[in-house]
Structure formats: structure tokens, C-alpha cells
Structure 1
Amino acid sequence: MKTRIAVLCSTLLVVLLISGCGFQIVNGSGTVVTEERPVSDFTRVDFSGFGELTLVQGDNEALTIETDDNLLRYIETTVSGGTLTIGFAKRVWFPLLRPTHSIHYQLTVKTLNHLELSGAGTVTAALLQADNLMLVESGAAVINLADLTANVLTVDMSGTGRVDLAGAVTSQTVELSGLGSYNAGDLASQTAQIHLSGVGAATVWVREQLDADTSGAGTIRYYGSPQVNASSSGLGTVQRLGNK
């Protein structure tokens, strides 16, 4: 009985908050269209909310959005200080947008050195080259880069998201907190520094040197035969998976 009362109270509170703030559910019209947005002169991308963002590297920067025609006005895209921000208008609470199909973005970049995701979006790229690249993931977002080539890779993950990487980098530095999962067993790297806090998990492929630090109950797994400097201040573990 107490549990049912608590659930009812929580539901009522959400309804009151939504009503009090003027939020309303916006259903997609069912008429799916593609719109081009003008973008230029950016090397950083900040993607929030939800939807599927496909990255393509090319000579001409471009952005297209595919969704219900009545939802386009709620999607904001701006470029400021070299950062392209893709998100939803402040006047709408994005969980109340109900597209008939997943919102799809296709973004062509010349150079990308910073990619940040928050919310529940997904970013994929078949091929990406960068000198220095930083990936920031929070919430329940997913990043999937199938063939990444970079000199220096830096990754900062929090929340329950996932990062899947393949390709080759010279060095990688990973900070993972929360329940996230970092899957880079197919990303060859010469050196790696991995710090895990919480109960997340990281898998890497390292050839020369691995610095692995765990706190909490996280797990670091690695391929290769690098020199390993491992430290743990909790129940975390560092495990070798063998050679690639």
C-alpha cells in the first residue's frame, strides 16, 4: 500500500510540474521531411536531447535534419565560438516530444576535435580522422566510431552511456565514472591511461604502456602485452584478455 501511494504521489508531482511549467506533449504529425540547416566554421559539436546523429567527414560542412514537419521548430542549431550546438528549444521539455520516427541528423564536418553528448542521443561515424579528439558523454548517450584515426584521444564518461571505438590512436586517456561502458578493444593504442570510478567497465588494446587506476567496483580489461602500472582503491580489477 505504501509503495502504491508513493508511486501515485510521484506521478502526481510530475503532472503538476509539467502543468505548472506550461509543458505539453507534442506529437509528430506523421509527415516526415528533411530540412537543411546552415552551419560553418566549427570544430566542436555539442549534441543534447535524443535522436540519431550520423557524422561524415568531408570538404563542405553541412547539416540535415529528418523528422516530422511540426517538430522542426523545436530543434535549435547554432554555431558560436567554433562550437555547433544541436538541441531543443528551452520552451519545450524534450521528453514530451513524440516523433513518429527517430529524429535523424546527418552532419558533415571538415575537422572535429571535440564531441559532447548529453541526454539519450546516439552518434555514429563510419570513418573519422583527427589530430586531437575529445569525447564527452553523459546521461544515456551512445558514441560509435567504427574507424577512428587520431594522435591523442581523451574520453570523459559519466552516467550510463556507452562508447564503442575501433581504429588506431597513439595515446588515449579515459575518465569513466558511474555505470558507463567504454569498449575500445578494437582500437589499437600505443599508450593508455584509464581511470575508473563507480561500477563502470573499460576494455582497451594497448601495445606499450597501460596506466590503470580503479576505485569503486569497476573493471578494466586489456588486450596486448604492455607494461602495466595498476592501482586500486576499492573492489576494482584489472584483467588481461590476451593478444590481438
Structure 2
Amino acid sequence: MKSTFNIYSVVVFVLLLFVSCERDNWHHIHGSGPVLTEERDVHPFYDVNISIPARIYFYQSAFPELTIKAQANILDAIETRIRRGELEIGLYNGAGLGKHETIEIYISSATYRNIRFSGSVDGWAETPLNVPEMNIFISGSGTFSGEVYAHYLSSSISGSGKLWLDGEVADQFHTISGSGDIYAFDLESETADIRISGSGKVEISVDDFLYADMSGSGTIYYRGYPDVESHISGSGKIIHINNK
């Protein structure tokens, strides 16, 4: 009886393992065929949420547009939808990507408020972005580069993401958890609030007031002559670059 039970247990285990492998293979998509271009219909949005590895090109224009370049079977797997003003771009049913040609996504909107990247997403603002406020969220190893003009700009990096920013804002607020970097010497601002947990690095320009809260080994380099208030726990450093 015990022997029969053991055999039954082994059979069930093997079947479950087989089903699990089949499910994983079904969800793992390898690109095939040439790269195609597809335009998708969209209505106005102001938030963007990207969760697939791709190159994202942002434009500011009067009318919303969305164009995707990818191999045919990957195009079929890319889901795009707009909910409550947010354009979401991901893969159907939690699928993953194997080997594939580079995915390129071109996004146009009259304005932007929140930009969210999850994973290995690289974004560029191909036109200057003039907005009331902008918030950039990077989780993973994503990057964003752009010229921004806003009253308020914030970013949050969790992981090893990187930002390159220029333009002009009144106030900027940045948080880094991990080893992320922000390069913003060319982003003029009146005030800045920087919070680093980990080994992140921030380069900023600020005129009036700089607040820094650091735990870990992060570094803040700043240009300008603001009043500075800092709270440092660990080996973090705040360094004045006197060449503004």
C-alpha cells in the first residue's frame, strides 16, 4: 500500500512539473520574422506606464498618438490600454520575452504627468516637455533622458535606474533607493529635496534651498549657492561644485 502511494505521488509530481514547464514555455515569447510598424488608436492620456523592455520615444504634440515597432508575434502579444488617463503598455497574460529584435515605441501626448518604467525600459523625450508638473518612477534598470520645463518635477528610482535631465523647474524632489543615478546639472531649479538610501548619486543645480536626507554611501553634487539643510546617516557626502 505504501509503495502504491509513493508511485502515485511521483506520477502526480511529474505531471505537475510537466504542466508547469508547458505553462512557462507558453508564456515565454521569442521574436520571429521581420520588424513591423503598427499604429494603435488612442484617446487623450497624461500618464504612461511601461512594463516591457523597450525603447520609448516621447513627443509633446496636440494629438495623442501611439506607434509600436516590433516583430509580428511580439506585436500580437503587446497589450495597450488607457484607464483613467493612463496609457498602459505591457504583455498579455503576464507573458515574458525571450530573444527578440529591439522594441521601439513612439508616444505623443498634449501633456504628461506620471511616467512609470518597470524593468529594462529606456526612454527619451524627443521634444522639450512643457508641463505643470512631472513625476518619473523607475523600478529596475530603466533610464530616462529629457528636457523638462515645469513648476514641479519629482523622480523615484528603485534599483539601478538612471536619469539625465535638463531644462528649468521651480522645485525638484528626488528619491533613490539602491544604486540609481540622476544627472541634472543642466536642470535649473529654485529648491531641491534629495533623499538617498543606498549608494545613489545625484548631480543638481539649485539656487535657493537644498534639503538632503541620506542613509548609506550616496553622494550629492550641487551647483549654485543655496541654503543647505542635511541629515546624513552613514558615509554619504554632499559636495559643492563651484562652477555654476
Pairwise TM-score range, normalised by the shorter structure: 0.7 to 0.9
**Aligned-pair CA distance for 1:235:** 1.1
Which letter does structure 2 place at the counterpart of 1:187?
L
1:162 corresponds in structure 2 to 162
Which letter does structure 2 place at the counterpart of 1:130?
V
Which letter does structure 2 place at the counterpart of 1:67?
A
2:142 corresponds in structure 1 to 141
> What is the alpha-carbon distance in structure 1 between the residues aligned to residue 94 and residue 194 of structure 2?
39
Correspondence 1:91-130 to 2 at 5 A: 91-94=94-97, 96=98, 98-100=99-101, 102-126=102-126, 127-130=128-131
Which letter does structure 2 place at the counterpart of 1:74?
A
> What is the alpha-carbon distance in structure 2 between the residues aligned to residue 28 and residue 138 of structure 1?
25
SS at match of 2:241: strand
Query: Percent identical across equivalent pairs?
Result: 32
User: Do the aligned partners of residues 16 and 187 (structure 1) sit closer, same or farther apart at CA in structure 2, a change above 3 Å counting?
Assistant: farther
2:88 corresponds in structure 1 to 85
SS at match of 1:158: strand
Aligned equivalent of 1:71, options 59, 74, 89:
74
**Aligned-pair CA distance for 1:41:** 2.3
> What is the alpha-carbon distance in structure 1 between the residues aligned to residue 195 and residue 163 of structure 2?
15
Aligned-pair RMSD on alpha carbons?
1.7
1:4 corresponds in structure 2 to none
Runs of 4+ aligned structure 1 residues displaced above 6 Å come to 15-18
> What is the alpha-carbon distance in structure 2 between the residues aligned to residue 16 and residue 220 of structure 1?
51
User: Do the aligned partners of residues 17 and 197 (structure 1) sit closer, same or farther apart at CA in structure 2, a change above 3 Å counting?
Assistant: farther
2:212 corresponds in structure 1 to 212
User: Do the aligned partners of residues 91 and 168 (structure 1) sit closer, same or farther apart at CA in structure 2, a change above 3 Å counting?
Assistant: closer
**In the alignment, structure 1 residue 52 sits paired with structure 2 residue 55:** yes
Please say which of residues 20-29 and 105-114 is displaced more in the overlay.
Answer: 20-29
Unaligned stretches of 5+ residues in structure 2:
1-16
Counterpart contact for 2:44–2:109, Cα < 8 Å: no
- TM-score normalised by the chain length of structure 2: 0.88
2:31 corresponds in structure 1 to 28
Which string of whole-angstrom CA distances, capped at 9 and with x for unpartnered residues, describes residues 189-229 of structure 1? 11000011111111111111101111111111111111111
Q: If you compute each CA radius of gyration, which structure gives the higher value, 1 or 2?
A: 2
**Aligned-pair CA distance for 1:161:** 0.7
What is the aligned residue count?
226
User: Do the aligned partners of residues 18 and 131 (structure 1) sit closer, same or farther apart at CA in structure 2, a change above 3 Å counting?
Assistant: farther
Which letter does structure 2 place at the counterpart of 1:110?
A
**Aligned-pair CA distance for 1:30:** 3.1
Counterpart contact for 2:165–2:186, Cα < 8 Å: yes
Counterpart contact for 2:117–2:139, Cα < 8 Å: yes
Q: Would you tell me which structure has more helix in proportion to its own residues?
A: 2
**Aligned-pair CA distance for 1:17:** 9.9
User: Do the aligned partners of residues 224 and 85 (structure 1) sit closer, same or farther apart at CA in structure 2, a change above 3 Å counting?
Assistant: same
User: Do the aligned partners of residues 17 and 166 (structure 1) sit closer, same or farther apart at CA in structure 2, a change above 3 Å counting?
Assistant: farther
> What is the alpha-carbon distance in structure 1 between the residues aligned to residue 208 and residue 120 of structure 2?
35
